[in-house]
């Protein structure tokens, strides 16, 4: 009993210290009794479970589970950042971290190299896309999450890590020793001309110097083509980043002292307005911003501001819908909490935050439920649920087959197998994928082993029919045959888009991210439409005038 009393008194002493530190904040919020009461209940529960539960528990793991559940009840962007996750946080904000330099994804239960970064330790050591990491410093990776694997791989520059690799086409595992280093990933992986007088800039994330790098890319394009007719800014699948860099990027195209974004939250002293600070690099060049469902946060600030000020035309699909501001606060022991402290509002006064979520993803909101606002020229724009493009171009709206191919890594697996038979692509410009029948044969060999929404519903129907007995086996077989036929037809219908996905994946194995973007440009429907629009000044001006 002495041990129990000592453990309990220590726990309560810690709790008392926590209460003391909390008192000022909660009194100011006017909820002291409720907050103090519930923290005491939580502390008592934690103590009882930790002391009496039948199995030995790890107190840190138990507490983290509780913290994560509390964070998940708020919004998808309020998170606890443990000490081991700090390197990942640094990469999000700075675009650099200490590690091996590779994009890693969990495929078939094992961490798999999806793309080694050019000139990073992984690439220098000879790691290739498709390599499966089966052990790190002798420790088995089976069952580990990508976060756990990343934590093992990150470390101080100059330190070594040994990977045991299963490489496609080789029977025996390979052991490769890498020397960790600081890895820096460019936020502007490619900029260039996409026609004689139209330039293109790809921005993948709003890490440090994003605005400066876009400004430099624009200056280089104007040097290459003094009579630049327009520029395409590609923010597709750009998940955002630093708010300050969103303002800096707007300033590339928008003059000094223009309002870009206002943040408003519970703590009014933290409310702020952000304006452009310098003369614009080019306030006149026509701009088309490409957005899609993966464009979020800072991408939506930039695209929404350009739309609200009628500075350029948005083309693509409606953006993600993240109008929340996060700040990080230290909470001791090298840990942080990243929490939503405000909503941001762009120049028209609208907030683009999605108000409904399902499985952590925003749900589309009907336009009739969204409030109306006006751009500077008087065009009607809507709040809530993302930024809607001025020119909607959604070629994949009626099919989820492309998303399914990506989510199930089907194209990645096919290209990994294709590489065993085709070990070289000499030039990016001359490469074209022509083995469509081979890809279809690969799908057949895989027995179309990927679920579409229709197949999931059919699977559910089978289970319920077995219990209820309303449909016969023949009925279900007939339905399944129809689904398979429809899926094959869908594959053929999207041959051009799937071929583009395959070409980009193949080229990335030899020419990395820059090559992926370059080969994608020649098949990109949205790029072609943007070039066409920039060549039609009357239509471009008419869109902005409403």
Count of alpha carbons within 13 Å of 437, Cβ hemisphere only? 0
**Which of 125, 110, 129, 100 has its CA nearest to residue 175?**
125
Q: Which residues pair with 66 in a beta bridge?
A: none
Q: Give the pair of three-digit tokens for residue 321.
A: 């819908």
Is the separation of the CB atoms in 416 and 129 below 8 Å? yes
Distance CA 489, CA 225 (A): 44
Which residues belong to the active site? 297, 308, 322
Distance CA 406, CA 3 (A): 55
Query: Alpha-carbon torsion 21, 48, 79, 261, what sign?
Result: negative
Phi, psi for residue 161 in degrees, rounded to 5: -140, 135
User: Which residues 6+ apart lie within 8 Å of 292 measured at CB?
Assistant: 236, 237, 316, 317, 319
Round the CA-based radius of gyration of the chain to a whole number and report it: 26
> What are the CA-CA distances from residue 536 to residues 12, 80, 530, 541 (Å)?
72, 49, 10, 9
User: Which residues 6+ apart lie within 8 Å of 143 measured at CB?
Assistant: 109
């Amino acid at each position: 009993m002495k041990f129990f009393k000592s453990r309990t008194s220590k726990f309560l002493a810690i709790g008392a210290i926590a209460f003391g530190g909390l008192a000022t904040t909660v009194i100011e919020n006017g909820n002291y009794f409720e907050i103090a009461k519930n923290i005491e209940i939580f502390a008592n529960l934690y103590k009882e479970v930790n002391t009496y539960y039948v199995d030995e528990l790890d107190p840190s793991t138990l507490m983290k589970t509780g913290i994560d559940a509390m964070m998940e009840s708020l919004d998808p962007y309020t998170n606890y950042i443990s000490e081991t996750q700090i390197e990942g946080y640094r990469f999000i904000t700075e675009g650099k971290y200490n590690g091996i330099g590779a994009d890693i994804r969990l495929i078939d239960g094992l961490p798999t190299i999806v793309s080694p970064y050019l000139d990073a330790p992984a690439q220098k050591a000879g790691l290739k896309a498709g390599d499966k990491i089966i052990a790190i410093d002798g420790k088995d990776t089976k069952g580990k999450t990508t976060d756990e694997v990343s934590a093992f791989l990150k470390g101080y520059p100059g330190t070594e890590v040994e990977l045991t690799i299963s490489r496609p086409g080789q029977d025996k595992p390979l052991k490769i020793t890498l020397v960790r280093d600081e890895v820096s990933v460019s936020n502007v992986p490619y900029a260039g001309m996409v026609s004689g007088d139209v330039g293109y800039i790809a921005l993948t994330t709003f890490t440090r110097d994003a605005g400066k790098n876009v400004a430099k890319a624009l200056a280089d394009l104007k040097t290459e083509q003094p009579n630049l007719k327009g520029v395409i800014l590609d923010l597709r699948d750009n998940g955002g980043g630093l708010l300050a860099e969103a303002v800096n990027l707007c300033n590339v195209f928008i003059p000094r002292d223009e309002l870009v974004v206002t943040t408003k939250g519970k703590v009014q002293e933290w409310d702020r307005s952000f304006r452009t600070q310098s003369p614009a690099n080019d306030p006149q060049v026509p701009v088309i911003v490409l957005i899609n469902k993966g464009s979020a946060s800072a991408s939506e600030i930039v695209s929404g501001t350009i739309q609200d000020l009628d500075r350029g035309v948005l083309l693509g699909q409606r953006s993600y819908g993240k109008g929340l501001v996060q700040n990080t606060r230290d909470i001791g022991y090298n840990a942080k909490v990243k929490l939503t402290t405000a909503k941001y509002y762009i120049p028209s006064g609208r907030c683009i935050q999605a108000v409904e979520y399902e499985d952590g993803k925003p749900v589309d909101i009907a336009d009739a439920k969204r409030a109306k606002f006006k751009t500077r020229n008087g065009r009607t724009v809507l709040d809530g649920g993302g930024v809607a493009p001025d020119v909607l171009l959604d070629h994949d709206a009626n099919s989820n087959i492309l998303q399914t191919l990506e989510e199930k890594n089907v194209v990645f697996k096919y290209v990994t197998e294709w590489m065993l038979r085709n070990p070289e692509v000499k030039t990016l410009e001359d490469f074209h994928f022509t083995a469509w029948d081979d890809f279809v044969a690969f799908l057949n060999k895989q027995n179309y082993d990927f679920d579409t929404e229709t197949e999931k519903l059919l699977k559910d129907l089978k289970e319920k029919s077995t219990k209820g007995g309303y449909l016969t086996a023949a009925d279900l077989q007939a339905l399944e045959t129809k689904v398979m036929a429809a899926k094959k037809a869908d594959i053929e219908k999207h041959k051009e888009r799937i071929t583009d996905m395959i070409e980009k994946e193949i080229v990335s194995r030899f020419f990395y991210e820059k090559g992926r973007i370059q080969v994608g440009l020649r098949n990109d429907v949205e790029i072609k439409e943007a070039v066409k629009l920039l060549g039609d000044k009357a239509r471009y001006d008419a869109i902005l005038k409403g």
